[in-house]
Chains A and B, each alone.
Chain A
């Protein structure tokens, strides 16, 4: 904590909360109220059961599966119940969560992207979970272990549940084998592109998003944050990744950056693929079942292609319990999380959505039952875990993503800006304290 912030007699923090409300009112949106570090009052019990609230972000099919699991859990419990509420996509839900935390009306638990956990942990709003009864053993690449890079020891604050990696999908009617290197991807994309005003098809499509750029940065041999904590943003590898996109979009004209930003662009990518306007796409394993079930053509999945090596980041979210919730609600939330981590639920969630099974026990059951032999696309998603590059959880990771890298990537790809200059400016901004 900044010592000077504690000396102001009139409560600068409260003053600033009002200022945030003012800034947001000027923007025509609702804003935060008071700081919510204290424990909020418990919710009224329902039919004698403790109610824990869950704010979730899954849309479409994944939302149906989650609500089904919640309803099964509620039917199986006599003492606790979960009330799940949809809060928009990950970023909308995060915005609401922060505001609710500031106003001391946060839910009992929620789920957030990994990049934001260092920030929430630093704000001390997450419940340490080490004292709770343990869950089944998690797959190491998907859990919190070893992710924090700030030199401090951290308690467990995040439980993996809907975890994913980026993966490549292709229309199997258009190609038999999927590209395994960047060069092959470039050739394939050029070959499959059909320039036509009336019925165009792009060989390749991927949202211009930080997640995929981080994957390519790793494939080009770079690391986002150096071991000493310097945000090098992959150095040359980061630039090479950006240039590869620019080549596909502007030189080869074999890739179209999808319209919209954030998850709207992801949705457009899926729709273009399903409508036959994109032959090969990169998106999340989370859409595996949706794409397979919806496409009018056979869908094949493959690992992302290599440049110098294979590399993918993990995606999806972690469950977190909010510290401000009353103890009985936290216990209820933990009961639900433990239930979700049992193989039956983990398998149900993974096989009905495409998210990765997060516990060793669930994977063992799936392997032994022959599930991966019968579902080769699921096997690809699982096997790609061997190429996972763990996220460096440094406190400003989310700022680097949202405020620094993502807007520059969009700008550079759409306007074909000099990749070296763009990444230099990003690195300079990432090193600035504000």
Chain B
């Protein structure tokens, strides 16, 4: 399609670009500038060059936060997608019972994070929680869940998966609805069983839906804050300090705007790199 006037594309893109510049580019540029200062909001800022980045890197904090956030994202994205797809395939049937199950699974997604976090804190209490009681009844040992640096990240990821699986399920259900029944009928006539129909019909047709679920889950997992703030405050031993919580902790609890800004810049760069990789992967697979 050719524009009627040469300036039409610029005019159409203009509002979006302006919003992007005001709400993304400008704040990130300001954060990049602030990351070069030592500043606590109330006393005069002092130029320190790259010292904030050095301090974060030398203590291993930067690498630790980045790896934890990536690990958390991998767990959440794979968990939510696998479970969401599995449940969608199971409940993609007519009938009141399946409608009830669909509603029940999705309901977790619309409940506030505070309620979800408090509910799971009670369930996962290693002494008085229901999960601990079940483990005891099964003769299994005591698991610290939120109090053990080795299990806390997986526990938070599991709670997040529990909450967002309903969202993934709804999207996959929409994707399943969009598959023409005739494709499955044709495959059945050709002798394809359940697995082969899924592998050769359902899965390839769900490609765009899968890509969308993966992207939104990735964004959601990178933005995790409430679950950390309420359930662990980043502990124990910073084992659940993810990027956004680390930024909050530095700027508001540790009085360090410079370090928080340095973390923000690294966070932005990491997200940009991941988004670029994902976009390239989709383009390579011919998805838009």
Spell out A's residues near B (CB within 8 Å): 1-2, 4-5, 12-13, 15-29, 31-32, 91, 95, 98-99, 101-102, 119-120, 122-123, 125, 197-198, 200, 256-262, 264-265, 272, 275, 277, 398-399, 402-403, 407, 410-411, 413-415, 425, 429, 432-434
> Are A261 and B234 also in contact (CB < 8 A) when A16-B37, A25-B27 are?
yes
Residue B175, interface by CB 8 Å: no
Chain A CB within 10 Å, residue with most, of B27, B41, B234: B41
Q: Which 8 A-B pairs have the closest CB atoms?
A: A22-B27, A19-B34, A259-B147, A123-B42, A19-B30, A95-B252, A261-B233, A261-B235
The distance in angstroms between the C-alpha atoms of A432 and B41, with both chains bound, is 20
Q: List 21 A-B contacts (CB under 8 A).
A: A4-B47, A16-B37, A16-B45, A16-B257, A20-B261, A22-B34, A23-B27, A23-B34, A23-B251, A24-B260, A26-B27, A26-B31, A98-B255, A102-B42, A259-B235, A403-B259, A410-B236, A411-B238, A414-B236, A414-B239, A434-B258
Return chain B residues, CB-CB under 8 Å to A429: 55, 59
- Contact among B33, B233, B237, B255 for A402, CB-based, below 8 A: B255
Return chain B residues, CB-CB under 8 Å to A256: 147
> Are A91 and B128 also in contact (CB < 8 A) when A13-B44, A22-B27, A23-B260 are?
no
**Per-residue CB proximity of B142-157 to A under 8 Å, as 1/0?**
1010110100000000
Return chain A residues, CB-CB under 8 Å to B232: 259-261
Residue B267, interface by CB 8 Å: yes
Return chain A residues, CB-CB under 8 Å to B43: 119, 122-123
The distance in angstroms between the C-alpha atoms of A73 and B98, with both chains bound, is 61
CB neighbors of A among B256-270 (8 A): 256-261, 264, 267-268
Residue B218, interface by CB 8 Å: no
The distance in angstroms between the C-alpha atoms of A257 and B146, with both chains bound, is 12
The distance in angstroms between the C-alpha atoms of A198 and B253, with both chains bound, is 37
Residue B185, interface by CB 8 Å: no
> By the criterion CB–CB under 8 Å, are B255 and A119 in contact?
yes
- Contact among B52, B247, B253 for A26, CB-based, below 8 A: B247
> Are A402 and B254 also in contact (CB < 8 A) when A16-B33, A277-B127, A415-B237 are?
yes
> Are A120 and B264 also in contact (CB < 8 A) when A23-B247, A259-B147 are?
no
Return chain B residues, CB-CB under 8 Å to A260: 146-147, 232-233, 235
Return chain A residues, CB-CB under 8 Å to B252: 24, 29, 95, 98-99
Residue B248, interface by CB 8 Å: yes
Return chain B residues, CB-CB under 8 Å to A197: 136, 141-142
Which single residue of chain A is at the shortest CB-CB distance from B128?
A275
> By the criterion CB–CB under 8 Å, are A26 and B147 in contact?
no
Return chain A residues, CB-CB under 8 Å to B233: 260-262, 264
The distance in angstroms between the C-alpha atoms of A19 and B127, with both chains bound, is 44
The distance in angstroms between the C-alpha atoms of A256 and B127, with both chains bound, is 12
Return chain A residues, CB-CB under 8 Å to B128: 275
The distance in angstroms between the C-alpha atoms of A249 and B55, with both chains bound, is 30
The distance in angstroms between the C-alpha atoms of A260 and B239, with both chains bound, is 11
Give 15 A-B pairs besides A29-B248, A434-B55 with Cβ atoms closer than 8 angstroms.
Answer: A2-B44, A13-B44, A19-B27, A22-B30, A22-B261, A26-B268, A27-B248, A98-B252, A98-B255, A260-B146, A399-B256, A407-B237, A410-B237, A434-B38, A434-B51
The distance in angstroms between the C-alpha atoms of A127 and B219, with both chains bound, is 45
> Are A27 and B244 also in contact (CB < 8 A) when A16-B34, A98-B42, A432-B55 are?
yes
Residue B17, interface by CB 8 Å: no
Which single residue of chain A is at the shortest CB-CB distance from B142?
A197
Chain A CB within 10 Å, residue with most, of B44, B247, B267: B44
Which single residue of chain A is at the shortest CB-CB distance from B37?
A16
The distance in angstroms between the C-alpha atoms of A272 and B141, with both chains bound, is 19
> By the criterion CB–CB under 8 Å, are A258 and B253 in contact?
no
Return chain A residues, CB-CB under 8 Å to B223: 28
Spell out B's residues near A (CB within 8 Å): 26-28, 30-31, 33-34, 37-48, 51-52, 55, 59, 126-128, 136, 141-142, 144, 146-147, 149, 223, 225, 232-239, 244, 247-248, 250-261, 264, 267-268
Which single residue of chain B is at the shortest CB-CB distance from A27?
B247
What distance in Å separates the Cβ of A290 from its nearest Cβ neighbour in chain B?
20
Return chain A residues, CB-CB under 8 Å to B136: 197-198
> By the criterion CB–CB under 8 Å, are B236 and A21 in contact?
no
Which single residue of chain A is at the shortest CB-CB distance from B231?
A260
Chain A CB within 10 Å, residue with most, of B141, B223, B252: B252
The distance in angstroms between the C-alpha atoms of A120 and B46, with both chains bound, is 17
The distance in angstroms between the C-alpha atoms of A260 and B125, with both chains bound, is 12
Return chain B residues, CB-CB under 8 Å to A123: 40, 42-43
> By the criterion CB–CB under 8 Å, are A410 and B238 in contact?
yes
> By the criterion CB–CB under 8 Å, are A27 and B261 in contact?
no
The distance in angstroms between the C-alpha atoms of A422 and B274, with both chains bound, is 34
> By the criterion CB–CB under 8 Å, are A415 and B149 in contact?
yes
The distance in angstroms between the C-alpha atoms of A27 and B260, with both chains bound, is 9
> By the criterion CB–CB under 8 Å, are A23 and B264 in contact?
yes
Return chain B residues, CB-CB under 8 Å to A15: 30, 33
> By the criterion CB–CB under 8 Å, are A23 and B147 in contact?
no
Which single residue of chain A is at the shortest CB-CB distance from B52?
A434
Chain B CB within 10 Å, residue with most, of A23, A25, A407: A23
What distance in Å separates the Cβ of B284 from its nearest Cβ neighbour in chain A?
30
The distance in angstroms between the C-alpha atoms of A259 and B151, with both chains bound, is 12
What distance in Å separates the Cβ of B177 from its nearest Cβ neighbour in chain A?
33
Which single residue of chain A is at the shortest CB-CB distance from B268?
A26
Return chain A residues, CB-CB under 8 Å to B261: 19-20, 22-23
What distance in Å separates the Cβ of B33 from its nearest Cβ neighbour in chain A?
6
- Contact among A26, A120, A257 for B267, CB-based, below 8 A: A26
What distance in Å separates the Cβ of B155 from its nearest Cβ neighbour in chain A?
11
> Are A20 and B41 also in contact (CB < 8 A) when A26-B28, A434-B51 are?
yes
Return chain A residues, CB-CB under 8 Å to B40: 98, 119, 123
Return chain A residues, CB-CB under 8 Å to B239: 414
Which single residue of chain B is at the shortest CB-CB distance from A18?
B30
Which single residue of chain B is at the shortest CB-CB distance from A20?
B257
- Contact among A24, A119, A125, A261 for B251, CB-based, below 8 A: A24
Which single residue of chain B is at the shortest CB-CB distance from A413?
B237
- Contact among A29, A259, A411 for B146, CB-based, below 8 A: A259
> By the criterion CB–CB under 8 Å, are B127 and A1 in contact?
no
Which single residue of chain B is at the shortest CB-CB distance from A272?
B127
Return chain A residues, CB-CB under 8 Å to B235: 259-261, 265, 410
- Contact among B30, B55, B237 for A414, CB-based, below 8 A: B237
What distance in Å separates the Cβ of B36 from its nearest Cβ neighbour in chain A?
10
Which single residue of chain A is at the shortest CB-CB distance from B234?
A261
Which single residue of chain B is at the shortest CB-CB distance from A91?
B253
